[in-house]
Amino acid sequence: MEIRVLICDDHKIMREGLRNLLKDKANIVVVGEAENGRDALSLVTKLKPDIVIMDVAMPGLNGMEATKMILREYQETRVIALSMHSGKQFVTGMFRAGASGYLLKDCAFDELMDAIKAVNSKHTYLSREISDVLVREFVSNIDGGVEEPGEVLSTREKEVLQLISEGNSTKLIAEKLFISVKTVETHRQKVMQKLNIFTIPELTKYAIRMGFTSLDE
Amino acid sequence: MEIRVLICDDHKIMREGLRNLLKDKANIVVVGEAENGRDALSLVTKLKPDIVIMDVAMPGLNGMEATKMILREYQETRVIALSMHSGKQFVTGMFRAGASGYLLKDCAFDELMDAIKAVNSKHTYLSREISDVLVREFVSNIDGGVEEPGEVLSTREKEVLQLISEGNSTKLIAEKLFISVKTVETHRQKVMQKLNIFTIPELTKYAIRMGFTSLDE
DNA sequence: TATGGTATAGGGCAATTCCTGATTTTAGTC
DNA sequence: GACTAAAATCAGGAATTGCCCTATACCATA
């Protein structure tokens, strides 16, 4: 019985590479590709894949938010995070979002295969480095309950925050999300009052700390 | 006559993906893989490949430095940069280092093939986005003087940039510096055109990278 | 002295933000 | 199902800010 896989990564050549590596595997079929979280969401509802290989850092709707929304829509699917980052905000964020596995992009392809098999059998897959991160996080969390910053914001608000921190103007964001400029303004203001941050630079720094955007160009 | 290719990328799965995509191509043979610039250097002297596909951002010896050293050792090889970044410091850095092509990782695999062919015929290959970057850079910097980042800005401009990145409004900056709002605006615009950055979030990120401001609150 | 970079600043129009208020959807609970 | 709270959507109008162009004075230094 074949495993239906959806690939979600903002880099086309990465998608092509993965597709090519997977296509020779007997019981695996790549049913689609998405270049961002939003496309992934709609493709999942349409294609109902068994597994989504999900990049974590993507412009627009990122991997964490996309994963949450995907699993809300269609719980049967399993998400494997495939990321360049081993930072704890990414790892814990993805698992909170409901991912079943987390791999670093410098893993071997065989490891991805192992992860796909494990996850498809309803197990969880962790690569060595990632389990270290989780363990450390767990241990350091026993004493004081760590507050969940970023959880005060709604999904839409996070999305808008990310787009802001990526340098998009209000108008551009409105176009990208197919909503009115006025709505984007409202979201921004809501975010600002929730976070008690009232300038774009501070908002940007917050987004960087939370992993919504990165420092590289 | 076959083209001998060396792949250099710090992400193993990327290397495997590329190798797999290339292995079906008739006149191309992947002679080796390197996971960092240093390995690439020694492999080039040993294997003498026609082409090196070089990731730009790598830990340790990065793509730019590696390219310089490789071409010093063995001029016959051609380097194609394959990067996630279209930032001008990467693009211009790679070309100054002597690369013959620059591709973004979200290009199609076919584009990489085109690049390999072009570069192997001693041509230069530029993808659309990259040529835009180079043209802008050329136009804005006709003398071609190499600048250290942050050194292009005047003292006053850095001061304004820092105040911006700390979340001060234009009006507030004017008050703090005892100058007119108009002057602050002029400084900001000068900074933006010098850095080729036109949004406050991106400016903030630049300031963080340059150490003008920090991430903490 | 002629050139170029720096620092300063205004005018005018376009764009954005801020404040207030309102409707519709969605989610959770009794 | 009804009730409620939160989330998501949008608008009008005032206030603010940004953007583009232009301009002057002050230094270096070639």
To test the contact with chain B by mutation, choose from A204, A208, A213, A214 the residue with the greatest count of B C-beta atoms within 10 A, namely A204
Cα–Cα distance, A173 to A156 (Å, whole number): 12
Beta-carbon separation of B205 and A199 below 8 A: no
* pLDDT, averaged across chain A: 81
Tell me the whole-structure pTM to 2 decimals: 0.57
Residues of B in contact with A104 (CB under 8 A): 11
Q: How many Å apart are CA A155 and CA A157, to the nearest integer? A: 5
H or E segment and range at residue A54 = strand A51-55
What are the tens digits of pLDDT across the range A141-170?
Answer: 333 333 344 457 877 888 888 889 888 989
Q: What is the pLDDT along chain B (217 residues), one digit of tens a residue?
A: 789 999 999 889 999 999 999 988 888 999 999 988 878 888 988 999 999 999 987 765 678 778 878 887 788 899 999 988 777 667 777 877 788 888 888 888 888 898 888 888 877 777 766 765 654 444 333 233 333 444 577 778 888 888 888 888 899 889 888 888 999 998 898 888 888 888 899 888 888 877 677 775 5
A83 touching B (Cβ < 8 Å): no
Helix/strand/coil for A136? helix
Greatest CA separation for chain B: 70
Q: What is the mean pLDDT of residues A137-143?
A: 38
Residue burial A52-72, b: 16+ Cβ < 10 Å; e: rest: bbbbbbbebbbbbbbbbbbbe
pLDDT value, residue B146? 33
Q: What are the tokens at A201?
A: 């630079």
- CA–CA separation, A51 and A3 (whole Å): 8
